[in-house]
Structure 1
Amino acid sequence: MSGWKEELQKQGGCGLLMMAWGVFAVGYMIYWFATGGNPEVKAFRDECHRRELRGYTPGYAPDYAIEAAVAKCERELRISRGLKP
């Protein structure tokens, strides 16, 4: 039990701090990707997809309509961010 205390005193806690930072960074990246990233962008995409697929029964939109909606929404998002479409 005292071995880790001695090691921590030798290193000044730097290794422990770096480990904690690494765990936080990896956890945050997992959270970011699991939630879809930026909430404003997620809300924009959700609203755009709803608008584009409004004429179809939920769950029964054909693949070509979904692909067209995704392409149009991504183009609108890039334009709204000031990027090239």
Structure 2
Amino acid sequence: MGDKMVELAAEQPGFLGVESVRDHNGVGITVSYWESLDAIKNWKHNELHKVAQEKGKSEWYKTFGLRVSKVERDYFFTV
């Protein structure tokens, strides 16, 4: 379902990208990037996304968190 949600999100106006990592126990984090708060709100209310959200609450996750943040700067370097 995660892959399907990424494909669906990529079709939504304002979607900028996604990053996801998991450890060997399957614990992980997924961060999606959007152009605006309105784009985030529209994604939250997408009908297929709402189905996935409900399945997450009822079947897949014991706990989960959601954080909406603004990225002011982003730097990367390689050694």
Instruction: With the length of structure 1 as denominator, give the TM-score of the two structures.
Output: 0.23
Which protein shows a greater Rg? Answer: 1
Structure with more strand by fraction: 2
Structure with more helix by fraction: 1
